[in-house]
Amino acid sequence: MKKVELLNLKGEKVKDININEEIFGITPNNNVLNDAIILSMASLRQGTHKTKNRSEVSGGGRKPWRQKGTGRARQGSIRAVQWVGGGNYGTPVPRDYSKKQNRKERRIALKSALSEKVAEKALIVLETLSLESPKTKDMMNLLETLKVADKKVLLVVDNFDDNTILASRNIQNLVLISAEEINVLDIVSTDVIVITEEALKQVEEVLK
């Protein structure tokens, strides 16, 4: 079993705790991890982009001039792609960008991302998280105590409370999620994970 330090809100070590090596100590599978990142980013794309082709723009019902004898190039419609106000060719149409990954691969990707953070010593486990007030200053003080105020932080909690939500929402480099929402994209796009002991147990319960 791997061990990590359990800290209190003052940044002091309380004790060492065991973490599941099959979740936090595997050799990362970079191919599966990369696929999961692409899947997550693709799922954020709406795919609602659209332009009109020549059959959809208005006007241009008749031939602008006769085929021969004018000295000009032959034209069939003033809404062809080469005309100003004409339709577009080869431009975006609505599409679904979502990709698929089976459950086993998703679990391996999540374990790989978590294992990388442990290997980088970028996992901080808090005994508990309870702020006295909903002030941003209180959360900033905690981040400074943990020496991560200058980093992009993923804060994982076992349940939300009003003080934590309100104190976190104005901090640009802080992402607050619950244990059940933990995902590959948030893990790899942040520098360090700060997680409560109870949230850690919930993650282990799901991934074991």
Note the pLDDT of residue 166.
96
Note the pLDDT of residue 155.
97
The answer on 173 and 111 residing in a single domain is: yes
Q: Which domain holds residue 61?
A: 56-96
Note the pLDDT of residue 37.
96
CA dist 207 and 204 (Å) reads 5
The answer on 188 and 121 residing in a single domain is: yes
Q: In sequence order, what E strands does 96-180 have?
A: 123-126, 153-157, 174-178
Please state the φ and ψ torsions of residue 177, each to the nearest 5 degrees.
-140, 165
pTM, entire model = 0.81
The answer on 105 and 82 residing in a single domain is: no
Mean pLDDT, the chain cut into blocks of 10 residues (208 residues total): 90 93 94 95 93 90 93 94 92 91 95 96 94 94 95 95 94 95 96 96 93
Which residues does 157 contact at the CB level (< 8 Å), separation at least 6?
129, 164, 176, 177, 178, 179, 195, 196, 199
Note the pLDDT of residue 84.
92
Note the pLDDT of residue 78.
92
The answer on 122 and 35 residing in a single domain is: yes
> What's the chain's length in residues?
208
Which tokens belong to 60?
A: 């241009």
Across-strand partners of 17? 4
CA dist 208 and 205 (Å) reads 6
The domain spanning residue 164 has which CATH number?
3.40.1370.10
Note the pLDDT of residue 61.
84
